Chain A
Amino acid sequence: MTKRPPPISNRVRELREANGNMSQASLGEAIDVTRQTIIAIEQGHYSPSLESAFRIAQVFGVGIEDVFTWEG
């Protein structure tokens, strides 16, 4: 019954580490989602909404295409 996530890879973990080892909880707080959701995004189990994807990119000061890549 679980929805298969679309083939999207991301560099969230890499960008977090490059930005002063930002914690998953801090990133979650910055974009209004829980730490568990950040973990799920990093592991590719969950694709965030467009709004959250833009917010993540904004937090790291990069474009959305620098964070998420379509692998399809």
Chain B
Amino acid sequence: MSPRVRMIVGLSIGLLVIFGWHFATVFGVIGNAPQTRSEFFIRLGIIFVGFLVVSTIVAILQDKRNSKLNMPDEREEEILLRTEQIGLYVVYAGILLVIWFSFAPMKSMQIVNALLAIVCVSEISKLVYGLLVLKRKN
């Protein structure tokens, strides 16, 4: 497994766990979902810190013997650019969906969670697409 693929797999698992936990509370599978603005911002803070922790762990697990391997080379940079493009398409599509559904009566917390879901799906799409392209070209 190349360092880049290892990093993508690590980040994907981290994102799935963090957002999985948040949406599990939203759908009442575990614990309680945030109901007020302050609760929601605390939750956002937890998600942010969680993502920082995952990124740090992934960085620690990178190949320290050769720091060059941790930097994307020209092919990987090209792939990363394309993944950013995919992420943007997902965000545009998601925003259009939220606009469409916001004409029906929606609670503000539903809109907020829908926007958070767009961020989550966009990030995961980027990682999955990057992983597929990297694996296919190997």
Contacts and interface: CB of A to CB of B under 8 A. Distances in A.
Interface stretch (B44-52, B72-80, B100-108): B72-80
B86 A37 contact: no
Name the interface size band of chain A: 10 to 19
User: Main secondary structure on chain B at its contact with chain A?
Assistant: helix
Interface string B61-74: 00000001100011
Contacts of B68: 29, 32
A34 B76 CA distance: 9
A37 B82 contact: no
Nearest to B73: A33
Interface in A36-57: 36-37, 39-40, 43, 45-46, 48-49, 52
B134 interface: yes
Name the interface size band of chain B: 10 to 19
Contact of B74 (A29, A35, A39, A49): A49
B133 A2 contact: yes
B111 to A, nearest CB: 30
A39 B73 CA distance: 13
B48 to A, nearest CB: 30
B31 interface: no
Given A35-B2, A36-B2, A52 B74 contact: yes
A1 interface: yes
